Structures are given as structure tokens and as C-alpha cells.
Amino acid sequence: MTEQGSLFRSTPIGEKNYDVGDVVDVKCDHEIDGERLNDWLQGVVVQADEKMVAVQFVEDVYLTDGWMVPDHVLWCRQDGDTIRKSQHRRKKR
């Protein structure tokens, strides 16, 4: 094997920004008072790896084509601009 070929044997591991249990805000389609909007919504990270984060919400969330997500879980990129650490305290239900 050539020296260059050996460079691609391992997968690069990036630094994770979010871990399971983190409270985050995700910019996504959801409803407030019966009105659909695209804004920041608070959720909890339920799965995370080096590239992706799964965030679960209490509220109904929608895909960009309008379909409701049945399990209330959206996936985001770890380094995406649609996810951030939550700006507010977690809401009590």
C-alpha cells in the first residue's frame, strides 16, 4: 500500500459541540398558538456523534416540505447554524 493510501484508513474524529442531555435551541418549523413559523425552539439532545445531533422536542415539529415529524426528533449537523446552546432555562411542563 502506498503512503498516500494509508492516510484514508481512519475516519477523522471532530470535536463534539453537543452531548446527550444538552438543552439546545433549533431553528425549525413548528406551531405556536396554531400559527406555523420557522423560529428557534427548545429541545433536548437525545443522540450525538462527531457529525450529527438528534434533538427531541415536546412540541410538534415539521420538515421543510410541511410533513409533521411523528417522533418529534430532528437531526442537525454538530457545526450547523440551525442549532445553538439554549438561550433560556428549560421550561417546566
Question: pLDDT per residue over 38-90, tens digit each?
Answer: 999 999 999 999 999 999 999 999 998 889 998 999 999 999 999 999 987 76
Query: Which pLDDT does position 11 carry in this prediction?
Result: 46
Q: Which residues of 55-84 are buried (b: 16+ CB within 10 A; e: fewer)?
A: bebeeebbeeeeeebeebebebebeeeebe
Assigned CATH topology for domain 18-85: SH3 type barrels. (2.30.30)
Is the CB of residue 50 less than 8 Å from the CB of residue 41? Answer: no
- Partner residues linked to 52 by β-bridges: 77
| Cα gap 9→5, rounded to integer Å | 8
